[in-house]
């Protein structure tokens, strides 16, 4: 087509409207990033996290339960209870988390109102390939990657922990201190 927009133009004009993660996923990722800063073996109460993030305690507890079922988070009830990571954040891939929280579906559900083109539709193939590429790109990063650097500093400030970079929170999975002033390089 002579006047068709370039792929870059489409991405620029559609970008934010086309790709949208649910609040459930957003809150789940925030919870998980916060849990990367908890000392090994320590539990943090979900009401504390919910209050600091300004979200519903009930909603955050439902998200935590989903993450427990996924094997990413452990939970303990009672006075000394709370939640903590069940795995090393360096072993938790971001694509897996988003798929777990968001649910893997299809960009377009051609079976809801059966489409007569379904058996030979190249559009469905292209959209499925784009969804797969999205998750593969996210899987290049780990939970540790996205919770480090400036994110760790912001979380520290929000939860009244050192945020000036001079005494960055210790990485419980490494003997060196996290650099709170630099963002991680993508990929592992």
pLDDT of residue 170: 40
Tell me how many helices (H) and strands (E) the chain has: 8, 2
Query: What is the three-class DSSP state of 127?
Result: helix
Sign of CA dihedral 63, 92, 21, 119: negative
- The pLDDT confidence band at residue 64, using thresholds 50, 70 and 90, is very high
**Per-range mean pLDDT, top range of 37-51, 60-74, 113-127:** 60-74
Question: Above 70 in pLDDT, residue 13?
Answer: no
Q: What value does the mean pLDDT take over residues 147-168?
A: 62
Q: Which tens digits make up the pLDDT trace of 117-147?
A: 777 788 878 888 888 898 899 999 999 998 8
Q: What is the mean pLDDT of the chain?
A: 76
Residue range 156-185: mean pLDDT, rounded: 45
Residue 7 has pLDDT above 70, yes or no: no
Assign 84 to helix, strand or coil: strand
14 vs 108, residue with greater confidence: 108
**Distances in whole angstroms, Cα of residue 146 to Cα of each of 4, 90, 118, 138:** 36, 10, 38, 10
Tell me yes or no: is domain 20-158 CATH 3.30.565.10.
no
Per-residue pLDDT at 176 exceeds 70: no
Please enumerate in sequence order all residues whose Cβ is within 8 A of that of 81, keeping only pairs 6 or more positions apart, or say none: 43, 45, 75
Q: Are 31 and 70 in contact (CB under 8 A)?
A: no
User: pLDDT tens digit string along 74-115?
Assistant: 999 988 889 999 999 999 999 999 988 987 766 666 766 777
Q: Is the pTM of this model over 0.85?
A: no
């Amino acid at each position: 087509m002579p006047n068709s927009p370039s792929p870059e133009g489409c991405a620029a004009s559609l970008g934010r409207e086309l790709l949208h993660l649910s609040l459930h996923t957003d809150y789940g990722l925030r919870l998980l990033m916060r849990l990367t800063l908890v000392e090994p073996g320590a539990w943090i109460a979900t009401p504390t996290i919910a209050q600091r993030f300004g979200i519903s305690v009930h909603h955050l507890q439902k998200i935590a339960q989903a993450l427990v079922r996924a094997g990413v988070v452990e939970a303990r009830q009672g006075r000394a209870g709370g939640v903590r990571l069940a795995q090393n954040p360096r072993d938790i891939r971001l694509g897996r988390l988003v798929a777990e929280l968001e649910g893997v579906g299809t960009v377009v559900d051609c079976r809801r109102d059966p489409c007569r083109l379904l058996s030979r539709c190249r559009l469905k193939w292209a959209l499925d390939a784009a969804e797969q590429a999205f998750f593969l790109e996210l899987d290049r990063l780990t939970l540790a990657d996205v919770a480090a650097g400036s994110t760790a500093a912001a979380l520290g400030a929000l939860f009244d922990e050192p945020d000036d970079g001079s005494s960055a929170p210790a990485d419980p999975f490494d003997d060196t201190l996290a650099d709170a002033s630099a963002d991680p390089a993508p990929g592992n």
